[in-house]
Homo-oligomer: A and B are copies of this chain.
Amino acid sequence: MTNHKIALIPGDGIGVDVTDAAMEIATAAARRFGFTLATETFPWSCDHYLATGRMMPEDGIETLRGFEAIYLGAVGWPATVPDSVSLHGLLLPIRKAFAQYANIRPHRLLKGVEGPLRSEGFDILCIRENTEGEYSGAGGRVHQGTPGEVAIQTSVFTRMGVERILRFGFEQARARRGHLTSVTKSNAQQYSMVFWDEVTREVAADYPDVSVEPMHIDAMAARMVMAPESLDVIVASNLFGDILTDLGAAIQGGLGFAASANINPDRSAPSMFEPVHGSAPDIAGKDIANPIAAIWSAAMMLDHLGEAEAAAAILAAIEAATAQGIGTRPGSHSTSDITKAVAAALEA
């Protein structure tokens, strides 16, 4: 029987609630499809930071390297640890250290979910660069605390980084409806984004079967709302992908439905799976967080691990539940009720 070694980082707030739910469903799917999950839980979080002065131990990355995949709930507890510290101490270094350069986020309406748009027939796959660009962390502050202060934040785009994410995007488009929208802002950012456009044109030559269209981030944000059904695969920089995928979450009914995978396509290191939502301190531990995004993310993990049947069964079970209105409206059902409904559909 195949055994998959998974590192669990529930993290902060509702990260803990939804990781429990996701693992309950993933374990049930494993049982049904004849494999096992050997999970090890790491308490790395803002509490851990307050206790130890670090979000994860110094050898955290090395520890994680021994796993086939990482499942993360959510990170951040701004009341005690600034987000800039907690995220740069845990989530962002994992994405970078393991070259999880493709952040994949699907946006479509699950059965039974009513989104905020009148439009309903969209099916978008957003591919976000996940290791560099606007998240490079380069920069500094000069004359700090004085009237003459200047803060500098530098985006760094490498050919390696841009080319690999574009190739990944073209591959995904080829496997879907053959259409790729590459998001930039080359009319205002004349170094980084003009470069991205150039590399897009080069890589496009290798994919004559994919139609590619460049689009500015501002126009793209508008289009996600005005004409989401005109989109297939989107490829975007780290920041633009961040923004567009929250927008994608919004049009699919909210962050409770937005799943994500941080993929190392070469499989030279573990990939990481996490819902798009944050730790939501205000509703943490109250059994009211929607676990669907987290469960869907676990399905993406199983798919990545080669358990495509189990992944598909989980997704079908989620939609069997939402089609009955379970978990489709904020506050309509508890975390555990939604999880039970998905589990029941999975057994059926």
Q: Which residues of chain A have a CB within 8 Å of any CB of chain B?
A: 76, 82-84, 86-88, 92, 116-119, 134-135, 137, 139-141, 146-160, 185-196, 217-219, 221-223, 225-226, 238-239, 242-247, 249-251, 254-255, 278
- Asked if A188 and B249 make an inter-chain contact with CB atoms under 8 angstroms apart, the answer reads no
Name the contact of A194 in the complex, choosing from B84, B160, B187 (C-beta under 8 A).
B84
Taking CB atoms, residues of chain B closer than 8 Å to A160 are: 147
Smallest beta-carbon distance A126→chain B, Å? 12
Q: Return the chain B residue nearest A75 by Cβ.
A: B187
Task: For the complex, give the distance between the alpha carbons of A160 and B148 in Å.
Answer: 7
- Asked if A225 and B251 make an inter-chain contact with CB atoms under 8 angstroms apart, the answer reads yes
Name the contact of A250 in the complex, choosing from B140, B141, B226 (C-beta under 8 A).
B226
- Asked if A254 and B239 make an inter-chain contact with CB atoms under 8 angstroms apart, the answer reads no
Taking CB atoms, residues of chain B closer than 8 Å to A225 are: 116-117, 225, 247, 250-251
- Asked if B154 and A188 make an inter-chain contact with CB atoms under 8 angstroms apart, the answer reads no
Taking CB atoms, residues of chain B closer than 8 Å to A278 are: 219
Taking CB atoms, residues of chain B closer than 8 Å to A188 are: 84, 87, 92, 134-135, 238-239, 242
Name the contact of A219 in the complex, choosing from B84, B148, B246 (C-beta under 8 A).
B246
- Asked if B255 and A243 make an inter-chain contact with CB atoms under 8 angstroms apart, the answer reads no
- Asked if B255 and A222 make an inter-chain contact with CB atoms under 8 angstroms apart, the answer reads yes
Smallest beta-carbon distance A291→chain B, Å? 19
Listed by A's residue number, 30 A-B pairs whose Cβ atoms lie within 8 Å are A82-B186, A82-B194, A86-B187, A87-B188, A88-B190, A92-B188, A116-B226, A117-B118, A135-B189, A139-B155, A139-B189, A139-B192, A141-B191, A147-B159, A148-B158, A148-B159, A149-B158, A150-B159, A153-B192, A188-B238, A217-B242, A219-B246, A221-B221, A221-B244, A221-B247, A222-B247, A222-B254, A223-B250, A226-B254, A243-B243
